[in-house]
Amino acid sequence: MKFLERVGMAVLGFSLAILLILVVDLSSVLPLNRLADNKVAKSYGYRGRTLNKSINSSREAADDSSSRQAESQDQMKDEFVDISAAILKAAQKLGIGTIFSKIPEEEGREEVTLGELAKISMEHSRVWERFQLGVSNLQLYKQSDSLVSEVLRQMQQLKIVGITQKEGGTQLKLIIDFEDGGQALFKPMRFNRSQQTLPNHFYFTDFERHNAEIAAFHLDKLLGFRRAVPVTGRVVNITRDIYSLAEGDLLKTFFISPAGNLCFHGKCSYYCDTSHAICGAPDLLEGSFAAFLPSKDIAPRKTWRNPWRRSYHKRRKAQWELDDDYCDIVKDVYPYNHGRRLLDVIDLAMFDFLMGNMDRHHFETFRLFGNNSFPIHLDHGRGFGRHDHDELSILAPLYQCCMVRRSTLSTILSYHSGPVSLSVAMRRSLSKDPVSPVLLEPHLAALDRRVGVILQVVRECLDRADSPESVILVQDNLYNNIKSNQPHDDGHFFQ
């Protein structure tokens, strides 16, 4: 009898186990189907979303970038032929035949350098002065300028003869003096490349990454902007290059760690204490070296608050995050009401999106060139923090204004549809740096994915527009929203 009871219990248990497996399997399949339907329904629509898990979190909610990547691999690649046709149609308004033809966005404007304005001869100048005085109203350096390679080489090889901690900022930076009198800004390596942004860190408390500065310079150049200063990687000997030259308060922060490594932390707003020290191995340290811009005595700069600046608050949102028509406010303010400035900000937003950089609170321009000049691309240490997440809110200037430069869009489209992808171009460019590999492969793959996201946003804008030329600006002067009695931005208009 006991034997029959045991057999019965065994059969009953086995039946329950099979039933449980079936229930769990169905519950795991059904939500995926619902999520897939939801993705198809909302696509890349941005207006009216209720996607925030928390006040300052992403505009993305359930669908993350890794799932989009998996889906895209299962589908035929979208070549965005409709965008190619829209570019061609907008270009034909000016009699341009192909979408990749060179069109001067600043037609009628001559390029003038700081050296020409100051009437300074560069014949016998050092490489540093030649780079700085060669800065023009259109770019920091020319596309085929061999001088940039020379600047990078000097920063990689010259002997370091002095260091000073840079004042201000949230994290440690050192001003490096070279033996020939040149200078560079040094950002040290804090952790290895595999460490991503900590999940509980806000964008304004994230660590700065030295390799992000290097990668940003190369990305800016590949996109054709040439608005970021030259940056290179270099390995320094802390004992010889930093400790032996340190003085004052900085010198007091050096110590030997329990692992026997030489460390220091300096003084700054965040992460300048023993628990967040910068350590060598045992005294070798990798870092980024950024070339200096011209002295403010020669070329004073104006600081502008970014109209799409974030709140830098744990709970409060910025106005643009609450108002989908925010761009109408920006378009009504000089100098964003005509010409290049608003298009420059949109360029900058796409640049930041490709890097995942949410920390763009201000930008600077050269006063000597007036308001019709480019914003300098500076301070990218918080870029390339996550390769598995696309922060769509960084693209707010693009999807709220639905405007884009034809040259920028053509460049991005060429990296998507052309023979060389952005990830391949970046890999090749970064391979020349002394601390290569600068970016790990997942970050390079994320660049290609984000290129597709930008093109999808532009497609959404074109679908809503009356004509392609209202979205794709072939020349900067075609954008004009000047009206009477419009307010002027003095650099602090936007809060």
Residues with catalytic function: 359
Rounded distance between C-alpha atoms, residue 471 and residue 90, angstroms: 9
C-alpha to C-alpha distances, 262 to 173, 248, 276, nearest whole angstrom: 17, 18, 13
Give strand pairing partners of 301. Answer: 366
Residues in the chain: 495
CB–CB of 231/433 below 8 Å? no
Residue 133 contacts residue 114 (beta carbons within 8 Å) = yes
| Identity of residue 437 | P
Count the neighbouring beta carbons within 10 Å of the beta carbon of residue 456: 15
Strand order in the sheet with 174-178: 160-165, 174-178, 183-188, 284-291, 231-237
Return the ∠ at Cα 45 (arms to 40 and 50), rounded to 5°: 100
Phi, psi of 340 (to 5 degrees): -90, -20
What phi and psi values does residue 309 have, to the nearest 5 degrees? -65, 140
Q: Calculate the alpha carbon distances from 367 to 228, 346, 379 in Å.
A: 17, 21, 19
Q: CB neighbours of 375 closer than 8 A, spacing ≥ 6?
A: 227, 304, 341, 344, 345, 348, 363, 364, 365
Q: Determine the 3-state secondary structure of 450 from DSSP.
A: helix
Note whether 65 and 446 are within 8 A (CB).
yes
For residues 446 and 387, the answer to whether their CB atoms sit within 8 Å is yes
CB 215 within 8 A of CB 383: yes
Cis preceding linkage at 258, omega within 30: no
CB atoms within 10 A of CB 430: 21
* Long-range contact set of residues 268-274: C-beta below 8 Å, sequence gap at least 24: 268/169, 268/170, 268/171, 268/172, 269/169, 269/170, 269/171, 270/170, 270/171, 270/205, 271/170, 271/171, 271/172, 271/190, 271/207, 272/171, 272/172
Euclidean distance between CA atoms 292 and 231, whole angstroms = 10
Using left for φ > 0, alpha for ψ between -120 and 50, and beta otherwise, residue 9 falls in: alpha
CA-CA distance, 414 to 494, in Å (whole number)?
35
Distance CA 294, CA 353 (A): 28
